[in-house]
Amino acid sequence: MDRDWTTVTFDEYQLIFYDQRASGKSSYDVDTLTISIDGFMDDIEGIRTSLGFEKIIVLGHSWGGLLAMYYGIRHPENVKAMILVNAMSPDSKFRKKQEALLASRMTEQDSIDQAQILGSEALKKHEAGAYEDLFRLLFRREFFNKELADNLILTFPDDFYARSQILQYLGRDLAEYNIYDDLEYFPFPTLIIYGDYNLLSNEVAHKIDAHIPNSELVILKNCGHFPYIEQKDAFFTVIRSFLK
């Protein structure tokens, strides 16, 4: 199975951004049994060993933050440091509360726009553009400044629907989990970044910080789920400071 990654330079650091299993340009011709936390861990470890790195700094945003934490639990000896950006909750029980909070942010116009997209021929035909419109609408609720949602780059492959069906198998591992206690054994420094408008900032951010021994928590003001858009300068300043 092929998986795709891109390498760019970030100051003196090399940033490797990869398309996760069955996502983006990576193949989705996979055994569905590998659509699991273990399978995703194997991918990160495979990239590390393929590129010949002894230790890596792992940065994960949102769902990627949960993956980063799992990787730190499974392979602590291979992690030099970790950066968690608005990371998904380490406890599945928070999901229902999160969904309720998101629903409360839905405006009347959002509901009208969503109904139009859901009822469109484009979505019924599983056109990538329709999914881009839908997700941009949904993500708007996670911006402190809603106008900046248009700056979010969303690129969906033509076969997005088929890929999304494959990724549904992750539900087996995400139905119920709690890894808070495992975070207490992280031997590496961890930077935790949350926007103050992010759904998880008040509860989850501080709880993660309390469970990781060598952690630093930064809450960015007037910022939602995408700090690299809403508070770009502050976001990268915090990361550069941590890496030094």
Give the tens place of pLDDT for each residue, 31-47. 999 999 999 999 999 99
Whether pLDDT at 217 is above 90: yes
Alpha-carbon dihedral of residues 203, 208, 213, 219, nearest 10 degrees?
A: -70
Q: Which pLDDT value is given to residue 214?
A: 96
The structure's pTM equals: 0.92
Q: Which pLDDT value is given to residue 6?
A: 52
Whether pLDDT at 163 is above 70: yes
What is the rounded CA–CA span in Å between residue 22 and residue 164? 8
Residue 206 belongs to a domain with what CATH number? 3.40.50.1820
- Specify the number of domains making up the chain: 1
C-alpha count within 13 angstroms, C-beta hemisphere, residue 175? 5
195-216: average pLDDT: 93
Strand order in the sheet with 56-61: 56-61, 79-85, 190-195, 215-220
What is the rounded CA–CA span in Å between residue 4 and residue 24? 8
Q: CA 212: distance to chain centroid?
A: 19
Q: Which pLDDT value is given to residue 3?
A: 44
User: In the chain, what percentage of residues exceed pLDDT 90?
Assistant: 81
What residue numbers bound the domain in which 65 lies? 5-243
141-146: average pLDDT: 95
What is the rounded CA–CA span in Å between residue 197 and residue 59? 21
Q: Which pLDDT value is given to residue 1?
A: 37
Whether pLDDT at 5 is above 60: no
pLDDT category of residue 10 using cuts at 50, 70 and 90: low
Whether pLDDT at 235 is above 50: yes
Whether pLDDT at 7 is above 60: no
Q: Which pLDDT value is given to residue 234?
A: 96
96-101: average pLDDT: 82
Nearest to 227 by CA among 157, 147, 166, 143: 143
Whether pLDDT at 202 is above 90: no
Nearest to 136 by CA among 125, 112, 152: 152
